[in-house]
Chain A
Amino acid sequence: MIAGRRGALVGAALLALGLVLPFLPGVYIIFAIDLVCFALVAMALDVLLGFTRLLSFGHALFWGGSGYVATILIAHGITSFPLALLAAVAYAFVLSALVGAISVRRSGIYFTMITLGIAEIQYFLAYQLIDLTGGDNGLTVATRGTFFGLSLEDDHVYYYLVLAVTAIATALAVRIVTSPYGAALAAMRENETRAKSLGYDTDRLKLAAFVFSGTLAGLAGALYAIANRLSGLDGVDWHTSGAIIMMTILGGIGTIYGPMVGAGVFQSLDYFVSKTPIGDKTNIVMGLVFAIVILIARRGIVGEILHHLSARAPRLVEDEDDPDLLVPDISAETA
Chain B
Amino acid sequence: MVAVLRGLRLRDLFAVLVVLVFMFPLFWWVLASFKPYTAIFSRIPNYFDFAATLDNYRVALLGASRINLEQGVGGQTGGASSYYSIPSILDSIIIAIGSTVLAVLFATLAAYALSRFPIRAKKHVVFFILAQRMMPPIAVAIPLFFIFRDIGLRDTHIGIIIAHTLINLPLATLLLKSFFDDVPRDLDESAMIDGASRFTVFWRIVLPLVRGGIAATAVLCFIFSWTEFLISLQLTTSIRTIPVKITTFVTSTGTEWGLITALGSAALVPSFIFILLVQRHLVRGLTLGSLKD
Q: Do A and B bind each other?
A: no
A: which residues have CB within 8 A of B? Answer: none
Residues on B lying within 8 angstroms of A by beta carbon are none
